[in-house]
Amino acid sequence: MELSQLPLVLFYRAVLSVSSQKWLTEGDPVTLICGVKGSSTGWTFSWFTLTASSDYGNHYKLLSDSSRGAGGNYTVSSAALNHTGIYVCRGERENTACNTTFSNKQPLWITGVSPPVSLIIGPNRAQHFSRATLSLSCEDQSNSGRWRMRSYTDHWGMENCSSRWASQTGSTCTISSITTSSTGVYWCWSESGENYNPVNITVHAGVILESPVHPVTEGDTLTLRCLYKRSTPPNLRADFYKDGSLIQNQTTEMIIPNVSKSHEGFYYCKHPERGQSPKSWISVTVSHSESQISVLHTLSSVLAVCPYLLVTVVLIVKCCRMRVTSVEEEET
């Protein structure tokens, strides 16, 4: 067959984006948007999640409700903890054999106030020194032991806790010597497909910021320290920054009492000789009790107004009836 007679094969690339940030709170809405680069019409889409495998390749699982995102938008009106995962999409053209490649990977991390399983980190901080030992344990109230650790890093992709880089004992995963390539998101999962409690872990060879792994509850006290492994004591007298602005200088720790939503942001510390730590996002959540109080306050306000609204409606109805009656009398 001559070269000119060979069928023309076009390779289209699917592109996946998200309507909001990839870190969400339980109940937030989110939309995944799939498009085809260089082409905009005639496509239907399928949606997949990335699964870990023993051969370190990419394996995708078709979402059971994939058809509801056929138009290019896959919308979750209220994100649940179990929506945590890595998503991809792919386009297909009707009545042709034309498919796109799998899209870029789009992670979604969903955090909640009361997840069914607790993720315990040791040492209990978001940033860690390279070459140190890190342990991660998934614990529920029944101590069932069915939970395992899963990670997603830029360097290795998605992986289970394995002998290649860690050891799993029950629900505890131990990494004997972490490196900067260990930086990523870690969460608890079960073989039944549940994914809970994602946390962002950063590994650095120099200065690190001692900051909480999990979100801070509004009203609590937040304490931050600047640490350096090769000094005694490890606490450094350093400058502390939030979102790029200096907020406290030359101190061994920064304490923020009565934390509020306004304290959310990216924090880091800087030492004039040792260097600067990576940035860590500090998230602040409203306590469950405060949420209940807010709901009760709203309900009480509505109930307080209801009698006045009821009286107003009754008066309006009576006025309308009186007008109708007067009009009928004039006509007769």
Clarify whether residues 44 and 55 are in a common domain: yes
pLDDT at position 64 over 50? yes
Q: Residue 127's pLDDT is what?
A: 97
Clarify whether residues 105 and 132 are in a common domain: no
Clarify whether residues 27 and 123 are in a common domain: no
Clarify whether residues 65 and 133 are in a common domain: no
What would the mean pLDDT of 158-180 be, rounded to a whole number?
85
Element (H, E) at 293: helix 288-331
Residue-range definition of the domain harbouring residue 242:
206-295
Q: DSSP state, 7?
A: P
What confidence category does residue 1 fall into, taking pLDDT thresholds of 50, 70 and 90?
A: very low
More confident residue, 167 or 58: 167
Clarify whether residues 13 and 102 are in a common domain: yes
Q: Residue 9's pLDDT is what?
A: 43
Q: DSSP state, 163?
A: T
Query: Which token pair is 43?
Result: 């496509």
* pLDDT more than 70, % of the chain: 79
Clarify whether residues 105 and 118 are in a common domain: no
Q: What is the pTM of this model?
A: 0.77
Q: 272-307 burial, b for 16+ CB within 10 Å, e for fewer?
A: eebebbbbbebbbbeeeeeeeeeeeeeeeeeeeeee
Clarify whether residues 217 and 193 are in a common domain: no
Query: How far apart are the C-alpha atoms of 208 and 166, rounded to whole Å?
Result: 23
What would the mean pLDDT of 182-192 be, rounded to a whole number?
90
What confidence category does residue 2 fall into, taking pLDDT thresholds of 50, 70 and 90?
A: very low
Selection from 222, 182, 194, 56 nearest residue 117 by Cα: 194
Tally of domains in the chain = 3
pLDDT at position 151 over 50? yes
Clarify whether residues 8 and 100 are in a common domain: yes
Query: How far apart are the C-alpha atoms of 26 and 195, rounded to whole Å?
Result: 13
- Residue at token pair 């400058």: 239
Asked whether the CA dihedral 199, 205, 209, 210 is positive or negative, the reply is: positive
**Boundary (domain end) residue, out of 205, 222, 254:** 205
Prior bond of 257 cis (ω within 30°): no
Q: DSSP state, 39?
A: B
pLDDT at position 6 over 70? no
Q: What is the mean pLDDT of the chain?
A: 82
**Boundary (domain end) residue, out of 205, 228, 249:** 205
Query: How far apart are the C-alpha atoms of 12 and 42, rounded to whole Å?
Result: 13
Q: Residue 56's pLDDT is what?
A: 61
Query: Which token pair is 117?
Result: 């399983």
Contact between 117 and 198 under an 8 Å Cβ cutoff? The reply is no
Q: DSSP state, 235?
A: B
pLDDT at position 191 over 70? yes
**Boundary (domain end) residue, out of 77, 111, 145:** 111
Q: Residue 318's pLDDT is what?
A: 58
